Structure formats: structure tokens, C-alpha cells
Amino acid sequence: MIRINVNGRAIEVDAAPDTPLLWVLRDHLGLPGTKYGCGRALCGACTVHLDGAAVRSCSLPIADLADRRVTTIEGLSVDRTHPVQRAWIELDVPQCGYCQSGQIMSAAALLRSNPHPSDSDIDAAMSGNICRCGTYSRIRRAIHRAAEMLGAGA
């Protein structure tokens, strides 16, 4: 049994110690919003927050995460009101949508550490997140828009 905190809830997980956090979230905890894309930290689809920082959950064995705090897309807000989600809705960012949980989690972590990112800050923080549908220019605009919302105290 490994104890972790997911979206504010303390949870005991009964999984093999080498099970990646991704599959614990998806298969054991019923949180399929976090996606599998590559399994090797190459695509960013599985991005979640670990103690507030963006990490690739496909490459983190659960055994290393005892007592750590995990936030998934399901826990980012209860009602899609996180500024990043609001900006994503305003600009209709997603296409197929499969990469978007990861994109949003990466963007939210970026804005937490850097409330006014430049385009090159966005490049640096977001280049680990592939979007095969090519929504990148709207992702960039939506991050700037979310920064505006945050600046306006929204």
C-alpha cells in the first residue's frame, strides 16, 4: 500500500511498486482524464502536477511518490473555471482533444511560476507537449489570454 494525495484526497493505492502514476490514476483511481500517449516522457499527454510542478506521470513509479501531492486535470478546478480552462474555452483550442489535458496542466504550471510568460517562455515550457492536431497557435494565444485573466484578478 502506498499513500498519496490526489486532488486533495488522501488515497491508499494497492499497485505494484513499479506501476507508473499514469496507470494508477487511470486504472486504479478512475481518473482517465490524464492520457497515455507515449509512455516515455516524450509527448506530455500524461502531464499532472506533483507538488505543484508539471511532471510526466507515465514515467513516475508509484513507489517513489509516497505522501506526495498530485493534481490531475479533474482536480484543476471543479467547474472548468481555472483561467487556463476558461481561456481554452474562449479560444476553442482543442480539436481531437486527446493532448489537451496535458497541455492544460503544463500551461497551468507555467502560469503559476511565471504569470506573464513570453513566447519563448511558452516554447520552453510547452515544447514537451505534442499536439498531433496542430493546435499550437491557439494554445499560445490561450496562454497569453489566461495570463491576462490572472492579471485582472480573475
- Binding residues (CB under 8 A) for other proteins: these are 15-16, 18-20, 23, 26-28, 30-40, 42-43, 45, 72-74, 76-77, 80, 85, 88-89, 92-101, 104, 122-124, 126-140
Question: 25: Cβ–Cβ under 8 A, 6 or more apart, which residues?
Answer: 6, 31, 32, 34, 48, 57, 70, 72
Q: Which of residues 40-79 bind ligand FES (CB under 6 A)?
A: 41-46, 56, 58
Cβ proximity to other proteins, 65 vs 76, nearer residue? 76
* 113 versus 137: smaller Cβ distance to other proteins: 137
Residue 101 or 148: which CB sits closer to other proteins?
101
As a three-state string, the secondary structure of the chain is CEEEEECCEEEEECCCCCCEHHHHHHHHCCCCCCCCCCCCCCCCCCEEEECCEEEEHHHCEHHHHCCCEEECHHHHCCCCCCHHHHHHHHCCCCCCCCCHHHHHHHHHHHHHHCCCCCHHHHHHHHCCCCCCCCCHHHHHHHHHHHHHHHHCCC
Rg (CA), the chain: 15
Contact between 100 and ligand FES by CB under 6 A: the answer reads: yes
Q: Does 39 participate in binding ligand FES (rule CB under 6 A)?
A: yes
**Contact region for ligand FES (CB under 6 A) — 5-13, 32-40, 117-125, 143-151?**
32-40
- Residue 61 partner contact from ligand FES, other proteins, none using kind-dependent CB cut-offs of 5 to 8 Å: none
Q: Which does 46 bind (CB under 5 to 8 A by kind): other proteins, ligand FES, none?
A: ligand FES
Sites of contact with ligand FES (CB under 6 A):
36-39, 41-46, 56, 58, 94-100, 131-133, 135
